[in-house]
Homo-oligomer: A and B are copies of this chain.
């Protein structure tokens, strides 16, 4: 591998001057600049990122920490983030917290001593306050309550989305609408429940029926049994996320309960799985890929401009009506 000193020697200048043209920073005469660029071309010189990182306390790397990359929400997010990162000359480090005993907040140490430039946090398993305390690393927090004043948050209008979902079920004529909610340490799970409750409570004649779930397919399956035991007359189901909705559809099909004729179903997230199962599932769609892109963009903004004010971005969701809630009668 060629070094900057090789280039310098060959161009008859000092390494410092080469560095100046490399970084387009400081004074360099047009003549030397041209000469150096020519030599760089000819030698096929590429600056060593590790050496550069050591000197600049930088790594040109972003981290994306998710709880479980196997959850179909995250690959789409990751793809968006990786795309933008790559476009801007950054690499993306992937962290998967699920199944790791995060003794001593393992990942935080790595972020620090590898000079990771910024991190996108999409898991509850990272202690972002600790991270913020130890490093002032630029952070983007996804879909979570954010206690860090110095981090950018990206979320969707969850409350409005779940209101829309519930009202949609009402509008197609459902009489008794239940909600399967996710783990309540999750801010979004709470808000989705809240939205459902808001709508139900506006209608005094309606009964609130809620069942706990865990945001997994199996959780959805389990919730259905639980639900039907106590409320066999439910005819509309707003499920806390799409993964559970998939489980719900499966279980209802197994029980020969027709969707949407007997029970209409609406999920939340907009993962592509909703289009894969039959019936296809009505859902509140989030722009997941877009969120990944946006997260990386904002992160890079903050890296380049540390004094930028930390926005909190809220994206719109969209009701996508599919077979699982189509009662065209």
Which partner residue on chain B sits nearest A288 by CB separation?
B70
Contact of A69 among B48, B49, B60, B79 (CB under 8 A): B79
Return chain B residues, CB-CB under 8 Å to A329: none
Interface size on A, residues (CB 8 A): 50
Contact of A93 among B68, B92, B276 (CB under 8 A): B92
Closest Cβ of chain B to A18, distance in Å, is: 16
Return chain B residues, CB-CB under 8 Å to A96: 78-79, 82-83, 86
Task: Flag whether A53 is at the interface (Cβ < 8 A).
Answer: yes
Q: Are A217 and B79 in contact (CB under 8 A)?
A: no
Known: A115-B50, A276-B250. A91 touches B93 (CB 8 A): yes
Closest Cβ of chain B to A181, distance in Å, is: 21
Which partner residue on chain B sits nearest A59 by CB separation?
B50
How far apart sit A195 and B106, CA to CA, in the bound complex (Å)?
46
How far apart sit A70 and B47, CA to CA, in the bound complex (Å)?
32
How far apart sit A61 and B115, CA to CA, in the bound complex (Å)?
13
Return chain B residues, CB-CB under 8 Å to A72: 72, 75
Task: Flag whether A261 is at the interface (Cβ < 8 A).
Answer: no
Task: Flag whether A172 is at the interface (Cβ < 8 A).
Answer: no
Task: Flag whether A273 is at the interface (Cβ < 8 A).
Answer: yes
Binding site for B on A (CB under 8 A): 1, 46-51, 53-54, 59-61, 64, 68-70, 72, 74-76, 78-79, 82-83, 86, 91-96, 99-100, 106, 109-110, 112-115, 217, 246, 250, 253-254, 272-273, 276-278
For this complex, 5 residue pairs linking A to B, each with C-beta atoms less than 8 Å apart, are A1-B113, A46-B109, A60-B114, A64-B94, A91-B93
